[in-house]
Amino acid sequence: MSRTEILETPRRQLMRRGIRQRAEAAQQQQCEVGAGSGHCRPIRSAGSKDNRIAENAWTQTTRLSNHIDNLVVIGAKMMKARHPGLTLAGLTHHQAMVNGTRLHYVSAGSTGSPILLVHGFPESWWTFHKLIPLLAARHRVIAVDLRGFGDSDNQPRSYDSKASATDLLELVRQLGVGPVHLTAQDISGSSVFRFAASHPQDVLSFIAIEMGLPGFGLEALADVARGGAWHIGVMAAPGIPDLLLAGREREFLGRYAFPSMCAVSDAIVENDIDEFARTYSRSDGWRGAAGLYQSMLQEGSEIRTLAEHNKLQMPVLAIGGGGGSFTADTMTQVATGQVRSVLLDGIGHYVALEAPDELAAAIGEFIEGVDARSTG
């Protein structure tokens, strides 16, 4: 949805129409018609109180109507503003107001079944920039920045997986693109699982990339005494991400987060680090990540209960890289049917950046089969 569409809502259209109708009625009641002229003007008789009231009403309503027109024009110009970060040819940037927040998303492709791409940590939609053109050749592709991430809003509010799940649901319904092939990775697991498990009618298939779930072993990754990742506890501790990482975003991303979990040399280049660092460097740039990690360490029993009562009913594809079979093992426990599994050898955690061609091939083949069955 563009800013123009946000501003020019049905309510505003009706309000503007009502303003003009009332103004025209006032003018009709207080005008002189010249013989055969077909024109009228407000009577300006200084001695008539009613005429002065009518003229004032006309002036005020005209000003308000023009103000609404100006807002719509301003909104249209804002949508044409250049995106502050990296972008791709053939890609369109959008903003949508959903669930009380503003989400940034990109779209490409115009035909085929829709694919919704949801990033993990420490990422944004840019993590899919190599994958999007490959998928968009045959599908409509949408890649979103989760609330608090990328160029989406990060104002003070809830940033748990439940809020993000509602965001995704409302985005799909607002755009009118559902059901979608829901494709996500890493820390977005709880958000997309909540979405798919609770609203299966909006999801054609579920594609999990290097993903775990709270309640199914994901919390163990925070145990540094047993080889877990220290950044999970740091991200989940209130106030600590900003305390330790503010002003050091690029160092954290470029010297630890990406190198420590990437197995393909030169898969993630300096421009990629710059783009990710750009969004995490904004004020409260870690807010989205902190919210999801806090949520992850608290919601295990809730996710497990949801899985017991609402297993995934749609076809599921589990794609593993550096995490091996962990994704497939998790998805098998939360799906009703057989889970298709693909393991990419020699790949680290950032599959979309490290092996976009192999990932696109696996996703494309899986989706082709799902689409054939759903239309057949």
**For 300-345, how does the pLDDT look when each residue is reduced to its tens digit (9 = 90+)?**
999 999 999 999 999 999 999 999 999 999 999 999 999 999 999 9
pLDDT for 112 beyond 80: yes
Average pLDDT on 80-98 reads 84
Average pLDDT on 4-10 reads 38
pLDDT confidence of 153, banded at 50, 70, 90?
A: very high
In the chain, % of residues over pLDDT 90: 75
pLDDT for 18 beyond 80: no
pLDDT confidence of 84, banded at 50, 70, 90?
A: confident
Q: How far apart are CA 124 and CA 145, in angstroms?
A: 6
| Averaged pLDDT of the chain | 85
Q: How far apart are CA 34 and CA 38, in angstroms?
A: 7
pTM of the model: 0.79
What does each C-alpha distance from 64 to 151, 193, 332, 346 come to in angstroms? 32, 46, 59, 63
pLDDT confidence of 227, banded at 50, 70, 90?
A: confident
Average pLDDT on 125-144 reads 98
What does each C-alpha distance from 366 to 51, 204, 362, 376 come to in angstroms? 72, 11, 6, 15
Query: Which amino acid does the sequence have at 282?
Result: R
Q: How far apart are CA 300 and CA 320, in angstroms?
A: 22
Q: How far apart are CA 268 and CA 279, in angstroms?
A: 17
Least confident of 53-67, 201-215, 220-234: 53-67
